[in-house]
Amino acid sequence: MIEQTVREYESLLCDIRHQIHEHPELGLEEIKTSELVAQKLTEWGYQVHRGMAKTGVIGTLKVGDGKKTLGIRADMDALPIHEASGKPWSSKIPNRMHACGHDGHTTMLLGAAKYLAETRNFNGTLHLIFQPAEEMINGGEMMVQEGLFEQFPCDAIFAMHNMPGFPTGQFLFQPGAFMASMDQYQVVVHGCGGHGAMPSKAIDPVMVASYITTALQSIVSRNVDPLEAAVITVGSIIAGDAANVIPDNAVMKLSVRSLSRETRELLLKRIPALIKAQAESFGATADVNHINGTPVLINDEAMTQFAWQVAKQQFGEERAVYGAKPLMGSEDFSFMLDENPNGCYLIVGNGEKGEGSCMVHNPGYDFNDKCLVPGSAYWGALTEAYLK
């Protein structure tokens, strides 16, 4: 079993993960992390390419004369959160932490890299893609735009994310839409400032923003098909400083999610139209700016079946779950799957209640080291099965 082989260097993987965790770096700033990744890949005999999307690293290993190519991706960036996990390997940098487990994702792929370099039990070309800036900046899109698949062609691509609340080392798969699209808007409502005691002589942008917030939910309840998923969240409204002053403007920040391309297109059309019409109904105006967006992540059915079969053969049926519920979180691996649809994004359980159950993006979160061996072994098994 591959898992038994990888377990021989479990302590090394823990050390690597803790080192990355102690020195978290935000998107496009992963200097030390990418240096560590490149150093290990070079040490193990990979051909290493650096600089794509600034700090991205691609390690290539060719074995035999096989024509098939495989890509496996891991993300490397941290979040602007101050850590409160209390772990001995907690972040040494204030307001920076690996609150999503990308330190674990990177380490699992490095564990597979070491195993595959030592055993070379496959026939073909393997590209290990260490991606920067998954959080907020869409580093996956940057790599695609900079020619990732032209320079490193992949017949199939895969990626994995940990998820608290599922048993440690359990693997979950879902064909079709698995992760939601995500679009961000910034809206500036322009009213007319005035005295709080004389609102009739002003146009209150705070009230207008409040009505817009309520009206936006009518898109989900009345425009979106009831059988489709959609979420519109107004996460921030900033306006004014004093209780007795009606400000000129109010700034709103929105997050929008859906699980189908058609629903996303509907949302992107209806949201600006509704905001502007609602503002005008009060005599105000609104500037609506689409800040960025990530498409729906759609898994190929055949590749998802294949990936599930690999997990089932390697770990048994109890640890390989097919038909997991889609998640409303977003993932910029979707850009890679849009460009190269023959692939699958899967989940590994980070632990149930009491063990790794703190949700990601929480100051108390920490990746579960018990996932390192099964995660590395899974990538090793997947590579050997695909590149027979």
Q: Which residue ranges make up the annotated binding site for Mn(2+)? A: 100, 102, 135, 161, 361
Helix, strand, coil abundance in the chain, percent, nearest 5: 40, 25, 35
Annotated binding site: 100, 102, 135, 161, 361
And the tokens for 91?
Answer: 């972040």
Per-residue HEC secondary structure of 179-247 comes to: ECEEEEEEEEEECECEECCCHHHCECHHHHHHHHHHHHHHHHHHHCCCCCCEEEEEEEEECCCCCCEEC
Cα–Cα distance between 117 and 115 in angstroms, integer?
6
Cα-to-chain-centroid distance, residue 361: 11
DSSP string of 111-175? HHHHHHHHH----EEEEEEEE---SSS-HHHHHHHTTHHHHS--SEEEEEEEETTS-TT-EEE-S
